[in-house]
Amino acid sequence: MSNENENPTPGSEEEGKETLEEIKETVEEVVEAVEEKAEAVKEEAEAASNKILSMITGLKEKNPLAFYGGIGAVVLIFLGLLFFGGDNVGTAPVPTIEVGKVYTLVNPNVTGGGDVLLLQAPGRMGATDPELREKEQVCVVKEHTPAKVLQESIVAYVKYVQVEPLEGDCAGKKGWTTIVNLQAK
């Protein structure tokens, strides 16, 4: 068995060179065609932008009221979107509380309400250290448990209340929670 690559036939090298030259010519033709198309597109884009610019400048010179009125309308729309647009995020309702009254404990941060964590001191609701949180935790009150408000405090712009649950496993224990966890009966 002979391998064709080992013993090339005379003329095959010349044929390869010719084929290579034909490929080079074809590639050059394609590159030239693409460059011509790109140049044509660039010229069309420049012509369109010049036409729009001349139209706007012509409007400014011929009818300045319409020109400046259009600018004013765009600015008003932008300001309207800036001030009246926005997301539809609601805030948790903060009840007006009275010390000594009974309220229902519900966590509004859980869909449908949830259990409420009572801590030894106000302001520790965001404690990320599990050991610290475990140490300061008084009790976890089941949702919809009635509780009496004993006092209120503000820590870092957040209102906290000290409550005493009247029912359940936490009945009689005193602890602090945020005011948003209170719901009027």
User: What's the pLDDT at 54?
Assistant: 87
**In sequence order, what are the residues at sequence separation of 6 or more whose Cβ sits closer than 8 angstroms to the Cβ of residue 125?**
117, 119, 158, 160, 177, 178
User: What's the pLDDT at 126?
Assistant: 60
User: What's the pLDDT at 60?
Assistant: 84
Phi-psi bin for 103: left (phi > 0), alpha (psi -120 to 50), beta? beta
User: What's the pLDDT at 10?
Assistant: 55
In terms of pTM, does the model score above 0.75?
A: no
User: What's the pLDDT at 184?
Assistant: 86
User: What's the pLDDT at 6?
Assistant: 52
Domain ranges of the chain: 12-84, 102-183
Q: DSSP of 106-124, one letter per residue?
A: --TTSTT---EEEESSTT-
The token pair that represents 172 in the structure block: 């009689």
Per-residue pLDDT of the chain in tens (185 residues, 90 and over written 9): 445 555 555 567 888 888 888 888 898 998 898 899 989 989 998 998 888 888 888 888 898 888 888 899 999 998 888 888 766 666 666 668 899 999 999 988 887 778 898 988 888 666 667 777 778 888 999 999 999 999 999 888 889 999 999 999 999 999 999 998 998 87
Q: Are 170 and 118 in contact (CB under 8 A)?
A: yes
